[in-house]
């Protein structure tokens, strides 16, 4: 399995428009973060988790040439607003399958009504095949995927487990029964917004406590804001099996 971090930033990305914060002015490429998303390539199938507003740029940078399925964690704009830019994949591959909670699919249909039309549809619009997922395992191309149910303040969000890899973003709280689904992981990816506490995201301390609880072989932090600090400086403070993810990082599991 190969995982590519397409984006590791929070909703505004880094640098933030017009910001003079030192991290936003950093020349280190690891401090420049597009909105959070990953590619998971497994057994010849390419899964995209979230399709945010930086999707086009991410595809060009990664060299990705096909997407077999898009999995949505939740409906916030930084995770869905790139859907129109799947058109090159649609023109080459045909209809694109998408997966999400019924609430997420409803939101997509509202925001991208022209994509979901069945009559008098504009010929240049892509076509998607929506699949509703619940909090129970499902399969794509014979691959089992286990949803991980978490809360983003009060909003339900799905993380996803593929074999020994799990990806969770925008989490603040999680029930014990969901933590049980994360046993025996080789790699866990989880959000860590900043050093200071936040009302709807894990901060660094909370993320590290969660990682210790899950006890994966390795963990990577994502959905990072400029308020976390400089990548190089923060990474020096982390446990030996925990790393700050950065855009275009690829790991093999």
Residue 42 is inside which H or E element, if any? strand 37-42
**Residue 44 to residues 49, 92, 141, 142, 148, Cα–Cα distance (Å):** 16, 17, 10, 12, 24
> Is residue 80 a contact partner of residue 99, using CB atoms and an 8 Å limit?
no
Which pLDDT tens digit goes with each residue over 53-108? 999 999 999 999 999 999 999 999 999 999 999 999 999 999 999 999 999 999 99
Question: pLDDT digit string (tens) for 149-197?
Answer: 999 999 999 999 999 999 999 999 999 999 999 999 999 999 999 999 9
Domain total of the chain: 1
Mean pLDDT over 199-217 rounds to 98
> What pTM does this model have?
0.97
Mean pLDDT of the chain: 98
How confident is the model at residue 144, as a pLDDT?
Answer: 98
Range of the domain at 192: 2-252
Helix residue ranges, H only, 76-187 = 77-80, 87-93, 102-111, 113-116, 176-179
Task: Produce one character per residue of 150-189: b if its CB has 16 or more CB atoms within 10 Å, e if not.
Answer: bbbeeeebbbbbbbebbbbbbbbebeeebeebbeebebbb
**What CATH number corresponds to the domain at position 68?**
3.60.15.10
Q: What is the DSSP letter of 110?
A: H
What pLDDT, on a 0 to 100 scale, did the predictor assign at position 177?
98
In this model, does residue 119 exceed pLDDT 90?
no
Whether 136 shows a pLDDT value over 90: the answer reads: yes
Please report where in the chains the tokens 């959000």 appear, as a residue. 191
CA distance 218 to 75: 28
Predicted confidence at residue 120, as pLDDT, reads 87
Q: Beta strands 37-42 and 2-7: pairing type?
A: antiparallel
Average pLDDT score over residue span 125-144 = 97
């Amino acid at each position: 399995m190969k995982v590519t971090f397409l984006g590791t930033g929070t909703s505004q990305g880094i640098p933030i428009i017009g910001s003079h914060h030192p991290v936003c002015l950093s020349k280190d490429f690891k401090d420049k973060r597009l909105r959070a998303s990953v590619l998971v390539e497994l057994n010849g199938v390419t899964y995209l988790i979230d399709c945010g507003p930086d999707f086009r740029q991410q595809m060009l940078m990664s060299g990705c040439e096909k997407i077999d399925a898009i999995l949505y964690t939740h409906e916030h704009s930084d995770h869905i607003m790139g859907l129109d830019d799947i058109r090159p994949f649609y023109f080459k591959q045909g209809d694109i399958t998408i997966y999400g909670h019924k609430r997420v699919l409803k939101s997509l249909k509202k925001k991208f009504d022209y994509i979901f039309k069945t009559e008098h549809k504009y010929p240049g619009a892509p076509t998607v095949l929506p699949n509703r997922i619940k909090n129970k395992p499902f399969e794509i191309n014979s691959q089992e995927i286990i949803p991980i149910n978490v809360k983003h303040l009060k909003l339900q969000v799905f993380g996803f487990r593929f074999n020994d890899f799990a990806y969770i973003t925008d989490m603040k709280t999680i029930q014990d029964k969901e933590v049980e689904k994360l046993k025996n992981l080789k790699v866990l990816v989880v959000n860590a917004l900043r050093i200071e506490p936040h009302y709807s995201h894990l901060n660094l301390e909370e993320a590290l406590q969660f990682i210790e609880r899950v006890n994966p072989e390795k963990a990577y932090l994502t959905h990072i804001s400029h308020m976390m600090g400089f990548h190089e400086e923060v990474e020096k403070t982390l446990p030996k099996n925990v790393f700050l993810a950065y855009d275009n990082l690829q790991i093999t599991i």
